[in-house]
Chains A and B, each alone.
Chain A
Amino acid sequence: MDQKNLLYFGIIIALVIAVAAPFIASSNPDGLESAFFGVFGAKEVHGAELDEEAAGAAEEQVQEITGNTFSFDSPFPDYTIGGMEKAGEALIIAVGTLIVLGIAFGLGRALSRSD
């Protein structure tokens, strides 16, 4: 496969993954969150059950511990787009993928050596 085809193939794979992501991704808490909920008593380390009330309290508790109350409203929080369901998530992750592609390409071109 030549360089060009490899790259088109790569972009297509990335976009397929991006569009499929909201439909196949697990909504369980991730490793760091799960450890966090375990530490704050909202979940057993080896258990699957999450005590949602304790989880909410844990989030307030940790802000008191660290004092970091910085909050930032991202335009598409947690890969969601206002009012749209999974199709919107798929769209926004695909757009994000293309944005990363574009920034990396532009920055790479600006920095790289030509020889």
Chain B
Amino acid sequence: MIATVNYNSNTLVTIVHIPDAFIPLTQAAVYWVIALVFIALSLRWARNEMREEKVPLVAVLAAGIFAIQAVNVPIPWGTSGHMMGAALAAIVLGSPFAAVFVLTLVLIVQGVLFGDGGITVMGANIINMGVIGGFVGFYSFKGLNAAIRNPYPAAFIAGWLSLFVAALVCAVEMAIAGTFPLELGLISMGLYHAVIGVIEGGITAVALYLIYTARPDLLKSPAGVTA
């Protein structure tokens, strides 16, 4: 039995948190290697771009993302889902590597202390949520915000897209693992996460609004950027 897939008790098991049994060890090792490259780059981002006075903001974002990931919101079809937070972290801190940094910390604590997400497959979870979520969220926000000149709808779409693409990548990983057939995996993961993405987009936009209202300077110069 897989401890993390505890379907009938009142658990807070979470979206795209892959449990150990879903991926063969050799593939899980490959994902870990890829994840470690991005973790190294995120540490370089922290060393080069993260200014000391922004550290509390990074820490609070990490804590908030951990907390909000514990809230599974019901969606149709007897399913639930929760926010990922990578797009928000990347947008507020001004770099996709900020999302990798924050989500890696969150995923380590979730996996090690709470059995939420596997240990051998943590690399895959870091790739999906931190790397895919962070890069899709950051660059779609950047492009959309430049096009429509309004950060909030841009953040909504970026949040939605970050979760949706991460879920599709997860479905492809499941297909490679032999766990899901590709087409059925893409359809069901796509369907559920298209809905869960609305939660991701909505909270990303609202949180960004609150942060920018409290600190308008962050809008002009995201925390990581050394202007």
Residues of A bordering B, CB below 8 Å: 1, 3, 6-7, 9-11, 13-15, 17-18, 20-22, 24-39, 43, 45-50, 52, 55-56, 59-60, 62-63, 65-80, 89, 92-93, 96-105, 107-109, 111-115
Contact = CB atoms under 8 A, between A and B. Distances in A.
A9 B66 contact: no
Contact of A30 (B63, B82, B106): B82
B155 interface: no
Nearest to A6: B214
B79 A75 contact: no
Given A31-B75, A111-B46, 10 more contacts: A22-B12, A35-B188, A36-B179, A39-B179, A45-B188, A60-B1, A65-B179, A70-B120, A75-B113, A99-B113
Contacts, number: 300
B136 interface: no
Contact of B9 (A22, A38, A78): A78
Nearest to B218: A6
A25 B188 contact: no
Interface of B: 1-18, 20-25, 28, 43, 46-48, 50-68, 70-82, 102, 105-106, 109-116, 118-121, 167, 170-171, 174, 177-181, 184-185, 187-189, 191-193, 196, 211, 214-215
Given A96-B113, A101-B59, A79 B185 contact: no
6 contacts: A27-B80, A29-B7, A72-B119, A104-B62, A107-B105, A109-B52
A55 B12 CA distance: 17
A50 B9 CA distance: 13
Contacts of B119: 70, 72
B113 A66 contact: no
A68 B28 contact: yes
B71 A28 contact: no
B191 to A, nearest CB: 7
B23 to A, nearest CB: 6
